Amino acid sequence: MDKRFSWIFLLVSGAFFVFIVGLTGYRIEDARKRNAVAAHERIAALAAKAQSLRNSAGAYTVPAFKKNMRDVFDAEPRLLLLSIHSEHDGILYMVARNRALLKEPTVIAPDWRGKPLYQVSRGYEALLSVTLQDGENGATLDTLFLIMGREDLYPVVRDDLYLFLAFLLVCGVVILIVTSVQEDAVDARTRVSAPAPAPMHAATAPPVGHTVGSRAFTSPRTGLVWAEYLEPRLRAELARAASADLDIAMARIRIDEPFADAKLPIVFANIARMLKESFPLHDLVFETGNDCFTLLMPDSGVDAAVRSLDEFRRKVTTAAVVGRNRTVSIGVSSRGGRLIDDTTLLEEVEVSLAKASREGGNQVIGFRADPARFRDALGATRT
């Protein structure tokens, strides 16, 4: 995927994250407000019920009142605490779902007087009070309601999870579609006929009886593209990669064999066949001499190219060619986001290949440019 799509994906993901956070906050606050309004409506009904039960039983402290009031309390799942008290008589009646909700007094005693203090979690619980008419002495009804609990958060979190999974599904489908479209576009560009051939500097001499102007695009002995087509094709691929801000890797593969080996042409043809089996874009695989091949790998960085070529190296090593196992040395480099020409990339590949051969062969060496030197060179070019 190109950088433009990556930026669009990041912006959409960020907007979705902000939307989810905002929607979650709005729904939680809306549920909390609705429950708070319902609590204010319920306390009036509870006060009327308490006074009615007191008038029937005769007092707040008799067993009949306590039993009936406990049934009222149990019928209110969001009611955490209910207390009736007066300055003259202290706490007349109290029921709570948790003793820790009462902060003061710590122990309810008949001789205690004052106003009870409660342990209230702000934002989650609401403490509401109303005055009851109790003959000459007024009593106060305190209620502690739950206005935000797990039963309120569960549907919000559940819906957020469904939205998140739907977003991941949509993103996956979009990424698959974009990747498929880009791969089709790359295949179409790379399969276009190569530009008119131009002689390559230091190109290998063509076979006897053939000329550059008369022979076919590919070599009859291997089916690979002739070496002189490499330079114009490399320039075209570099220009395409630069215009689309894509990467392109180039590799040179040399057989680790003495040049005088009489079986080398057979080995050369067999390794060419393995190259065509391993890399399907055959118009990007070139003969480069009698013991060497060059490979262009569009949309591939140096690390990805090294991994693919190392698999090919192992394939060559494990395959018996003309009676014994053969090995190859491979040098790789890539554009890596730099504005470089074909000559520079060819030089980097040759340096990597020379290092691979010098250090014993049968290995892949990737050329990694120094970013500081590249920036210095770019600055010098601008000045």
CATH of the domain at 221: 3.30.70.270
DSSP 363: S
Q: What is the dihedral of CA 202, 305, 329, 265, to 10 degrees?
A: -60
Looking at 132, 151, 170, which one is the last position of a domain? 151
Quick: pLDDT tens for 213-242: 445 788 888 889 998 999 999 999 999 998
Same domain flag for 126 and 215: no
376 pLDDT tier (thresholds 50, 70, 90): low
In a domain, 119, yes or no: yes
- State yes or no: pLDDT of 130 exceeds 90: yes
352 in any annotated domain: yes
Q: What are the backbone angles phi and psi of residue 226, rounded to the nearest 5°?
A: -65, 155
Q: Is the pTM of this model over 0.85?
A: no
Longest dimension (CA), the chain: 129
Same domain (yes/no): 219, 317: yes
Neighbours of 230 (CB within 10 A): 23
Do 110 and 16 share a structural domain? yes
For residue 258, the model assigns a pLDDT of 61
The rounded distance, in Å, linking the Cα atoms of 297 and 334 is 9
pLDDT level of residue 205 (50, 70, 90 thresholds)? very low
Q: Which residues contact 261 (CB under 8 A, 6 or more apart)?
A: 267
Task: Clarify whether residues 202 and 136 are in a common domain.
Answer: no
Looking at residues 279-290, what average pLDDT do you find? 89
pLDDT above 90: percentage of residues in the chain: 55
Strands 320-321 and 324-325: antiparallel
Residue 16, domain CATH: 3.30.450
**Predicted local distance difference test score (pLDDT) of residue 141:** 94
CA distance 146 to 344: 73
Same domain? For 29 and 105 the reply is yes
Number of H helices, E strands in the chain: 8, 13
Lowest mean pLDDT, pick from 153-162, 169-178, 188-197? 188-197
Q: Does residue 312 contact residue 340 with C-beta atoms inside 8 Å?
A: no
| Domain housing 130 | 3-151
Residue 36 lies in a domain: yes
Distance CA 226, CA 289 (A): 9
For the segment 123-134, the average pLDDT, to the nearest whole number, is 88
Residue 173 included in any domain: no
Are 137 and 207 within one domain? no
Could you tell me if 84 and 60 are in contact, meaning their C-beta atoms sit under 8 angstroms apart?
yes
Closest CA to 17 of 171, 217, 179, 247: 171
Instruction: Please tell me which residue, 203 or 347, carries the higher pLDDT value.
Output: 347
- List, for residues 320-362, the tens digit of each pLDDT value: 777 778 899 999 999 988 888 999 999 999 999 999 999 989 9
Amino acid found at 53 = L
Q: How confident is the model at residue 380 (pLDDT cuts 50, 70, 90)?
A: low
Residue 319: the pLDDT is 83
pLDDT of 208 strictly over 80: no
pLDDT at 201 over 50: no
Q: Is there a domain that residue 267 lies in?
A: yes
Alpha helices in the chain (DSSP H): 3-57, 63-74, 150-190, 230-243, 264-278, 302-318, 342-358, 371-382
Look over the chain and give the mean of its residue pLDDT values, rounded to a whole number: 84
d(CA 248, CA 254): 20
Q: In the Cβ-directed half-sphere of 364, how many Cα atoms lie within 13 Å?
A: 20
Q: Is the pLDDT score of 382 beyond 50?
A: no
